[in-house]
Amino acid sequence: MTWFENVDKIKFEGPKSNNPLAFKFYNPEEKINGKTMEEFLRFGVAYWHTFTEDLSDPFGVGTAIRNWDKYDGMDRAKARVEAAFEFFEKIGAKYFCFHDVDIAPEGDSLRETYQNLDTIVDMIKNYKKDSDVKLLWNTANNFTNPRFVHGAASSSNADAFAYAAAKVKKQLEIGKELGGENYVFWGGREGYETLLNTDLKLEQDNLGRFFHMAVDYAKEIGFDAQFLIEPKPKEPTTHQYDFDAQSTHAFLLKYGLEDHFKLNIEANHATLAGHTFEHELRYARVNGILGSVDANQGDPLLGWDTDEFPADIYSTTLAMYEIIKNGGLGSGGLNFDAKVRRGSFEQNDLFHAHIAGMDHFAVGYKVASQLAEDQVFEKIIDDRYASFKEGIGKDIVEGKADFKSLEQHALNLGEVENKSGRLELIKATINQYLLNAYAGK
């Protein structure tokens, strides 16, 4: 049985193609800097948005037409696994990601939930045998069920903490069984709504304790995946503890977790924090903690997490520049934590959306590679900070200056002479690279 009857394997047809079911820019075999696009980009499909999402919103019911929805419960979960592997194969994504509740329904007890998971994990294991698709990461959903109303590892209720720990323990075992390359902790409800009833210090200390327990258990069972924290500033709680890359880094350092975690940077979470996507990637990169990416985008006119498929090629270019400078994402990848719009309810929209996302990252990759090869930003930055390469600037950087030597320098200066930042020229240069990349093709 096939779940996507009228779709064949998606092929690269080039920028002139008007076939909606073909790649225009993502050519998996094309080599850039000695690596194929497929090897470098490591695209992942998010199980929740692609196979579980019904496209409901706070004002309306689900609209998604999915032919596995004719089933219910475990039958639907099994149908989704079949559909998922057919989808991975046809779209040509080599990775996927899931939360526990995406792949198997919760039972009436934790034990029954485990049994449901075991059945589906066995099935996934079998499908993986005949496929080269790998698990990029899995995670535990410790935020949807009412038991986590006050949080999970930062809950005011120790029983909720224990339940969350059990769910993560099970996911670490499943990650090991399925050969997961990373394991993700997104805060979910780890944060608070109001200080009026919150012990902020205890909650954060408990979160630190929880992460240490996870590190210890992974070690105990020999699960050597890269641990990732996914920062997000708000939603669902008003104040999420893993606010952004910089505050999460401070948290890791404070609790002695810095050797065990990297970050999973999501574009829409960056914008919710008042940052650009590339800011979050840059902060993580220069601090050695860029692990993986949730590839999506927000709507600049809305203040919540819209999780749209990436369409902004300016943003994918600057993001890919960071990833190139990072030497790639290591065990991480580009996971489409993105959903089709509520109005895009047909099943084939899942293909259109992933094709668009993959194409837009391919464009970004190509343009960013050229920018990196020509050292466009490196030259600008080298020139802009040249004053730190000699004289008093070199003394500052090398720790040889103090307030007395700096005062002496300033007294002899006359006035400070600055150079232009040339931002308009720089932006025009980026646009030139973007427009030239496919000119004449």
359 interacts with ligand XUL by CB under 6 A:
no
Number of residues that bind Co ion (CB under 5 A): 3
Given 190, 308, 337, 359, the residue binding ligand XUL (CB under 6 A)? 337
Tell me the closest approach of the beta carbon of residue 208 to ligand XUL, in angstroms.
19
| 181 interface partner picked from ligand XUL, Co ion, none, CB below 5 to 8 A per type | none
Residues 279-308 vs Co ion: string with x where CB under 5 A?
---------------x--------------
Question: Which amino acid type is present at position 289?
Answer: I
Separate counts of helices (H) and strands (E) for the chain: 16, 14
User: Catalytic site residue 242?
Assistant: no
Given 163, 186, 241, 251, the residue binding ligand XUL (CB under 6 A)? 186
Cα–Cα distance measured from residue 319 to residue 216, given in angstroms and rounded to the nearest whole number: 33
Q: Which two tokens stand for residue 58?
A: 């706070």
Given 294, 308, 322, 359, the residue binding ligand XUL (CB under 6 A)? 294
Tell me the closest approach of the beta carbon of residue 423 to ligand XUL, in angstroms.
32
Tell me the closest approach of the beta carbon of residue 409 to ligand XUL, in angstroms.
49
Nearest-CB residue for ligand XUL: 186
Residues 327-356 vs Co ion: string with x where CB under 5 A?
----------x-------------------
User: Catalytic site residue 99?
Assistant: yes
Tell me the closest approach of the beta carbon of residue 333 to ligand XUL, in angstroms.
13
Tell me the closest approach of the beta carbon of residue 361 to ligand XUL, in angstroms.
17
| Secondary structure of the chain as H, E, C letters | CCCCCCCCCCEECCCCCCCCCEECCCCCCCEECCEEHHHHHCEEEEHHHHHHCCCCECCECCCCCCHHHHCCHHHHHHHHHHHHHHHHHHHCCCEEEEEHHHHCCCCCCHHHHHHHHHHHHHHHHHHHHCCCCEEEEEECCCCCCHHHCCCCCCCCCHHHHHHHHHHHHHHHHHHHHCCCCEEEEECCCCEECCHHHCCHHHHHHHHHHHHHHHHHHHHHHCCCCEEEEECCCCCCCCEECCCCHHHHHHHHHHCCCCCCEEEEEEHHHHHHCCCCHHHHHHHHHHCCCEEEEECCECCCCCCCCCCECCCCHHHHHHHHHHHHHCCCCCCCCEEECCCCCCCCCCCCHHHHHHHHHHHHHHHHHHHHHHHHHCCHHHHHHHHHCHHHCCHHHHHHHCCCCCHHHHHHHHHCCCCCCCCCCCHHHHHHHHHHHHHHCCCCC
Nearer CB in complex with ligand XUL: 99/366: 99
| 170 interface partner picked from ligand XUL, Co ion, none, CB below 5 to 8 A per type | none
Name 379's Cβ contacts closer than 8 Å, sequence gap at least 6. Answer: none
β-strand partners of 97? 46, 137
| 53 interface partner picked from ligand XUL, Co ion, none, CB below 5 to 8 A per type | none
Nearer CB in complex with ligand XUL: 232/360: 232
Tell me the closest approach of the beta carbon of residue 235 to ligand XUL, in angstroms.
7
Residue carrying structure tokens 């029983």: 159
Residues 113-142 vs ligand XUL: string with x where CB under 6 A?
--------------------------x---
102 interacts with ligand XUL by CB under 6 A:
no
Tell me the closest approach of the beta carbon of residue 97 to Co ion, in angstroms.
9
Contact of 245 with 294, CB cutoff 8 Å: no
| 305 interface partner picked from Co ion, ligand XUL, none, CB below 5 to 8 A per type | ligand XUL
| 232 interface partner picked from ligand XUL, Co ion, none, CB below 5 to 8 A per type | ligand XUL
Tell me the closest approach of the beta carbon of residue 159 to ligand XUL, in angstroms.
22
| 244 interface partner picked from Co ion, ligand XUL, none, CB below 5 to 8 A per type | none
232 interacts with ligand XUL by CB under 6 A:
yes
Choosing from 100, 102, 294, 359, which is the catalytic residue? 102
Given 173, 266, 280, 322, the residue binding Co ion (CB under 5 A)? 266
Question: Which amino acid type is present at position 395?
Answer: D
Choosing from 8, 57, 72, 99, which is the catalytic residue? 99
Burial annotation 243-261 (CB, 10 A radius, 16+ → b, else e): bbbbebbebbeebebeebb
Number of residues that bind ligand XUL (CB under 6 A): 10
Q: Note the Cα 364 to chain centre separation in Å.
A: 16
Q: Which of residues 264-283 bind ligand XUL (CB under 6 A)?
A: 266
Known catalytic residues?
Answer: 99, 102
Binding site for ligand XUL (CB under 6 A): 99, 139, 184, 186, 230, 232, 266, 294, 305, 337
Instruction: List residues binding Co ion (CB under 5 A).
Output: 266, 294, 337
